[in-house]
Chain A
Amino acid sequence: GAGVSQTPSNKVTEKGKYVELRCDPISGHTALYWYRQSLGQGPEFLIYFQGTGAADDSGLPNDRFFAVRPEGSVSTLKIQRTERGDSAVYLCASSEGVGDHYGYTFGSGTRLTVV
């Protein structure tokens, strides 16, 4: 596609429920990043993929969070047993590769609200 697409744009869920957030990167981009942005803060790194594998998941806050990218393109961020503190905008970004000469393109994000 022309840009990074994230769905849904908004998600309201009840505390304790399971949610899935989807990211469709720019075609051909091998690197995919998930970030979380709370109000008034900068994007906070969660996990990044190089191809199908999670190259670094050190930013995932706990084991309720998990992400997959089975075919090296679309990625899904999964959150189990959601808590009110999970409420934030979840941003996805992709780049052609990994390294200092690649720029990152962000999607519009999914605004998750846990009530």
Chain B
Amino acid sequence: GENVEQHPSTLSVQEGDSAVIKCTYSDSASNYFPWYKQELGKRPQLIIDIRSNVGEKKDQRIAVTLNKTAKHFSLHITETQPEDSAVYFCAASGGSYIPTFGRGTSLIVHP
């Protein structure tokens, strides 16, 4: 089955800095890679996703890159704000149509 590794587990940045979270996956058949933001006590919410036919996707301050050869994908947040503080999860799905999640990255943005 799919195995998704996510790093770092905790990321602390100053407001205005950039934050990068990286994930690797094992199943070469995976072709859909969503990212979720989960605030304390709330549901995971989809913030951006990328499919295997593109290498990069951007939505305002958030961007995701995908390297299928290396089987890794990353989330980039620029100009971070305190409200970006949350736990971020990457996921991969495709071959089995079951999203497999990483263990999460706790992002802390200090004002």
A and B interact: yes
User: Is the CB of A25 closer than 8 A to any CB of chain B?
Assistant: no
Size of chain B's interface in residues, with CB distance under 8 A?
Answer: 27
Nearest A-chain residue to B100, judged by Cβ: A45
What is the distance, in angstroms, from B60's C-beta to the closest C-beta of chain A? 18
User: Contact: A100 with B51, CB < 8 Å?
Assistant: yes
- The majority secondary structure among interface residues of chain A is loop
Contact B46 A105 (CB under 8 A): yes
Which residues of the partner chain B approach A45 to less than 8 Å between Cβ atoms?
Answer: 98-100
CA distance A41 to B101 in the complex (A): 9
Interface contact B96-A56, CB-CB below 8 Å = yes
Decide yes or no whether A85 CB sits under 8 A from chain B: no
Of B45, B51, B94, B97, chain A has the most CB atoms within 10 Å of the CB of: B97
A→B interface (CB under 8 Å): 31, 33, 35, 40-45, 48, 56, 58-59, 91, 98-101, 103-109
